[in-house]
């Protein structure tokens, strides 16, 4: 029998995974073996003769499953970035095995008693802030994992955890398969009317790759969908692709309706078993917001600002459409189209005017320069790492001041079959203890940007540029971690704080000083004109009411599912419509958002989608600080790195933010930025 690569420490730089040596059939036996190892480590903790203390119990538990953690991080990251039917099938086996181990640990009375003994003595221990948080989290993790339940309730919780471990991957697979099943193949050049040349070229290239020679292929990948819904003069085509996008995982073959009901029911049952009112109550106990009422009040305040603005914007859009000889009722598939036309007329530019200045490689280099100017770090491509796809690039990150190694970064930028839509940062190993010593992190960002064609490089939209800065913000948060414990380092923070470091970075993509680092015409080398940047900034808040109201509505849908199971949970559309009745600008023409709302049903944001807007308040307030002091002010950047980025989840985020800013965040900072409230 050949040696299983997954069970041996990697000999690559920074112990990064050796992807080319890993076979799909390696995962299940490796997981089983790693679970054996973890159980042996846990049994050793339980059998320890010495009295429980921080080292022999809390740290021992923190490091007990590092082999399993490494293997499952590789598995799930590959499932979402490079998914195959084989990996999807394995998820149905691996999920329950890991859930069983997690339940066994969380419900073990001997382990809990040892942790409780240390926790009860906390005040007499000489712990630093990170150690104190680890101990508190360990104790609360046991309680929230069922340690205080009776045997019957524990068994019930085990079954719930096992079932839930299968549902998320199954939900994601339905979204992927449903999306990939749609193809809009055009063979008439007249049907391309209104589309920018970049979209036409990409569609021709995609068609050729799929064997549709001489035709144009449009898909539901956003770099393809976005231009079609925004620029196509052919209303029937906009309607067709909009409805396909809106009905993802709502078709006959790949339908998430039953999974949604199962997921929310199981989450609610788990919360009630553990003594909480519902899943939102359970989740928000460990968030900055603390309670569902706080979240709902927050969303209501935003709705009160966004809705009047959105209604005014919609009326403007309808009036504008009439000036364009549009006599029909405005439908959802018309909104982006006429919005873009109005934007071009009002601000005298199009988003496509920016694209030639945003060559992917130049933008990436410029983003690295930006982070270097802020935090004195250097990104160097290193081809000694192995990768999971030939599109992936790898970098070493060093501190410029002392040349110390900070960590490993992977970049996976383009769509492909089997890859989850959207963009995300992920971790193959967080900063912290690994094999007995503190090791540096192995981090990846995964995106679905506009692909290069046969004769053009990848040219990004400004939205994609912002997304790159966003995901690199997450990555740098993880890379600059200085903690000792993986469970508290980097982005392992309270969930409604995690978007601050990412969203903050988007602000720089509207600043001339930053854009001048990389924005130059891919053919002529001309720097992006100052007047074009001015137009970009002027248009920044265009239709902000409609966009903000959309975000609020998504937060309300999330809370509708998780602040108690709706009585009519089987009627997905009715639940959504009731939740968003005061946010809707159009009647319903497509399937429910919930069917493809992976963030809350398969991505960790359940009862937490509000956190994007919550963190926008923080990032708007934080960026005001940078603007006041200077975009690349070293004192402010150093304080932000030290007090926010390096600390991870080692202390309460309110404390960290207060240390950085010198005060709490101003709740009106976001509305000021959006010109919805006077300064």
Tens-digit pLDDT profile for residues 152-188? 999 999 999 999 999 999 999 999 999 999 999 999 9
- Angstrom distance (rounded) from CA 600 to CA 598: 5
List the domains of the chain with CATH numbers.
5-106+108-144 (1.20.1050.40), 182-246 (no CATH), 257-349+544-609 (1.10.1370.10), 356-538+612-673 (1.10.1370.40)
3-class state of residue 332 by DSSP: helix
- Angstrom distance (rounded) from CA 355 to CA 344: 15
> How many angstroms from the chain centroid is the CA of residue 175?
16
pTM: 0.92
- Angstrom distance (rounded) from CA 27 to CA 31: 6
647 touches 656 (CB < 8 A):
yes
Q: Which residues contact 266 (CB under 8 A, 6 or more apart)?
A: 160, 163, 164, 167
Longest dimension (CA), the chain: 84
pLDDT digits (tens, 9 = 90+) for 535-572: 999 999 999 999 999 999 999 999 999 999 999 999 99
The secondary element (H helix, E strand) that includes residue 134 is helix 129-144
Cα 351-593-498 angle, rounded to 5 deg: 70
**Per-residue pLDDT, 500:** 97
Bridge partners for 433 per DSSP = 438
Q: Which residues contact 272 (CB under 8 A, 6 or more apart)?
A: 278
Residue with tokens 């005014």: 312
Q: How confident is the model at residue 603 (pLDDT cuts 50, 70, 90)?
A: confident
Residue 379 is given by DSSP the state: E
Tokens of 282: 């359970």
**Per-residue pLDDT, 251:** 85
- Angstrom distance (rounded) from CA 106 to CA 619: 36
Is position 471 annotated as part of the catalytic site?
yes
**Per-residue pLDDT, 328:** 95
- Mean pLDDT score, 525-532: 97
3-class state of residue 51 by DSSP: coil
Catalytic member of 471, 499, 506, 674: 471
Kindly give the pairing relationship between strand 432-434 and strand 424-429: unpaired
pLDDT digits (tens, 9 = 90+) for 124-159: 999 999 999 999 999 999 999 999 999 999 999 999
Nearest Cα neighbor of 5 from 25, 21, 20 is: 21
Tokens of 434: 């690994």
- Angstrom distance (rounded) from CA 620 to CA 91: 39
**Per-residue pLDDT, 83:** 86
- Mean pLDDT score, 627-643: 98
Q: How many residues does the chain have?
A: 679
**Per-residue pLDDT, 421:** 86
Q: How confident is the model at residue 2 (pLDDT cuts 50, 70, 90)?
A: low
591 touches 252 (CB < 8 A):
no
- Angstrom distance (rounded) from CA 598 to CA 420: 10
Tokens of 91: 């998820």
- Angstrom distance (rounded) from CA 571 to CA 577: 10
The secondary element (H helix, E strand) that includes residue 434 is strand 432-434
- Mean pLDDT score, 20-31: 96
332 touches 230 (CB < 8 A):
no
pLDDT digits (tens, 9 = 90+) for 421-465: 899 999 999 999 999 999 999 999 999 999 998 889 999 999 999
Calculate what percentage of the chain has a pLDDT beyond 70. 99
Kindly give the pairing relationship between strand 184-186 and strand 216-218: antiparallel
Nearest Cα neighbor of 377 from 664, 641, 60 is: 641
72 touches 94 (CB < 8 A):
yes
Dihedral sign computed on CA atoms, order 382, 385, 390, 392 = negative
The secondary element (H helix, E strand) that includes residue 137 is helix 129-144
Q: Which residue has the higher pLDDT, 268 or 84?
A: 268
Residue with tokens 């993790």: 141
- Angstrom distance (rounded) from CA 403 to CA 438: 18
Residue 429 is given by DSSP the state: E
**Per-residue pLDDT, 252:** 83
3-class state of residue 623 by DSSP: helix
Q: Would you give the end-to-end CA distance of the chain in angstroms? A: 69
**Per-residue pLDDT, 455:** 87
Tokens of 234: 């052919």
Nearest Cα neighbor of 649 from 541, 535, 531, 490 is: 490
Q: How confident is the model at residue 678 (pLDDT cuts 50, 70, 90)?
A: very low
- Angstrom distance (rounded) from CA 490 to CA 646: 7
**Per-residue pLDDT, 53:** 97
- Mean pLDDT score, 111-120: 97
Residue 437: how many CA atoms within 13 Å on its side-chain side?
A: 4
Query: 157 exposed, middle or buried (CB, 10 Å; 0-12, 13-18, 19+)?
Result: buried
457 touches 522 (CB < 8 A):
yes
Measured CA distances, 456 to 205, 211, 216, 411, 465 (Å): 10, 20, 16, 20, 18
560 touches 552 (CB < 8 A):
no
Question: 139-143 contacts: CB < 8 A, separation 24 or more?
Answer: 139/115, 140/286, 141/106, 142/106, 142/111, 142/112, 142/115, 142/116
Residue with tokens 């589309």: 195
Virtual CA dihedral for 111, 114, 119, 121, nearest 10 degrees? 180
State yes or no: pLDDT of 378 exceeds 90: yes
Q: How many Cβ atoms from other residues are within 10 Å of residue 33's Cβ? A: 16
242 touches 332 (CB < 8 A):
yes
Q: Which residues contact 269 (CB under 8 A, 6 or more apart)?
A: 156, 160
Q: How confident is the model at residue 679 (pLDDT cuts 50, 70, 90)?
A: very low
What mean pLDDT, rounded, does the chain reach? 96
Number of H helices, E strands in the chain: 27, 9
Calculate what percentage of the chain has a pLDDT beyond 90. 95
B/e letters for 83-108, b = 16+ CB within 10 Å, e = fewer, are beeebbebbeebbbbbbebbbbbbbb
Nearest Cα neighbor of 493 from 646, 670, 625 is: 646
**Per-residue pLDDT, 642:** 97
256 touches 250 (CB < 8 A):
yes
């Amino acid at each position: 029998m050949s040696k299983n690569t997954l069970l041996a420490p990697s000999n690559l730089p920074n112990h990064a995974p050796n992807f080319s040596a890993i076979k799909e059939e390696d995962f299940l036996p490796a997981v089983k073996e790693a679970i054996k190892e973890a159980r042996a480590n846990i049994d050793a903790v339980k059998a320890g003769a010495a009295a429980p203390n921080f080292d022999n119990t809390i740290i021992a538990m923190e490091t007990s499953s590092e082999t399993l953690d490494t293997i499952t991080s590789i598995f799930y990251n590959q499932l979402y970035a490079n998914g195959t039917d084989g990996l999807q099938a394995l998820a149905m086996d691996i999920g329950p095995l890991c859930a069983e181990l997690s339940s066994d640990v969380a419900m073990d009375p001997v382990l809990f008693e040892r942790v409780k003994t240390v926790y009860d003595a906390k005040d007499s221990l000489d712990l630093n802030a990170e150690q104190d948080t680890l101990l508190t989290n360990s104790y609360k993790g046991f309680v929230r994992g069922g340690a205080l339940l009776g045997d019957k309730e524990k068994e019930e919780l085990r079954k719930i955890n096992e079932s839930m471990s299968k549902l998320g991957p199954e939900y994601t697979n339905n979204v992927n398969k449903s999306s990939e099943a749609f193809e809009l193949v055009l063979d008439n050049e007249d049907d391309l009317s209104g589309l920018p040349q970049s979209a036409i070229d990409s569609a021709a290239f995609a068609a050729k790759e799929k064997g549709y020679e001489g035709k144009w292929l449009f898909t539901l990948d956003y770099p393809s969908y976005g231009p079609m819904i925004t620029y196509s003069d052919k209303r029937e085509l906009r309607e067709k692709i909009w409805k396909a996008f809106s009905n993802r995982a709502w078709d006959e073959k790949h339908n998430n309706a039953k999974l949604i009901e199962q997921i929310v029911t199981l989450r609610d049952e788990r919360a009630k078993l553990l003594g909480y009112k519902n899943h939102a109550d359970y989740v928000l106990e460990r968030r900055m917001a603390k309670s569902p009422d706080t979240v709902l009040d927050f969303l209501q305040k935003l709705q009160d600002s966004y809705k009047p603005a959105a209604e005014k914007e919609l009326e403007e859009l309808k009036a504008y459409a009439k000036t364009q000889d549009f006599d029909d009722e405005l439908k959802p598939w018309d909104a982006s189209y006429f919005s873009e036309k109005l934007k071009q007329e009002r601000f005298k530019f199009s988003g496509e005017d920016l694209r030639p200045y945003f060559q992917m490689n130049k933008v990436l280099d410029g983003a690295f320069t930006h982070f270097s100017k802020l935090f004195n770090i250097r990104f160097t491509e290193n081809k000694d790492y192995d990768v999971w796809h030939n599109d992936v690039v790898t970098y070493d990150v060093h501190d410029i001041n002392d040349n110390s190694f900070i960590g490993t970064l992977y970049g996976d930028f383009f769509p492909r079959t089997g890859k989850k839509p959207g963009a995300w940062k992920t971790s193959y190993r967080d900063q912290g203890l690994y094999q007995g010593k503190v090791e540096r992190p192995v981090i990846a960002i995964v995106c679905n940007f506009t692909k290069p064609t046969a004769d053009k490089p990848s040219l990004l939209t400004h939205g994609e540029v912002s997304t790159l800065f966003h995901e690199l913000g997450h990555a740098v948060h993880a890379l600059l971690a200085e903690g000792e414990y993986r469970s508290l380092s980097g982005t392992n923070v309270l969930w409604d704080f995690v978007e601050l470091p990412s969203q903050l970075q988007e602000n720089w993509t509207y600043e001339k000083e930053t854009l001048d680092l990389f924005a130059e015409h891919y053919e002529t080398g001309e720097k992006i004109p100052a007047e074009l940047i001015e137009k970009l900034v002027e248009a920044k808040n265009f239709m902000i009411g409609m966009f903000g109201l959309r975000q609020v509505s998504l937060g309300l849908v999330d809370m509708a599912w998780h602040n108690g199971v709706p009585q009519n949970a089987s009627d997905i559309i009715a639940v959504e419509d009731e939740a968003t009745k005061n946010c809707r600008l159009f009647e319903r023409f497509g399937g429910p958002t919930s069917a493809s709302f992976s963030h809350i049903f398969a991505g960790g944001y359940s009862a937490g989608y509000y956190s994007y807007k919550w963190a926008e308040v923080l990032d708007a307030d934080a960026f005001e600080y940078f603007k006041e002091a200077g975009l690349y002010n070293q004192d402010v950047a150093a304080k932000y790195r030290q007090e926010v980025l390096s600390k991870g989840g080692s202390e309460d985020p309110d404390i960290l933010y207060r240390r950085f800013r010198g005060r709490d965040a101003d709740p009106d900072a976001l509305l000021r930025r959006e010109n919805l409230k006077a300064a």
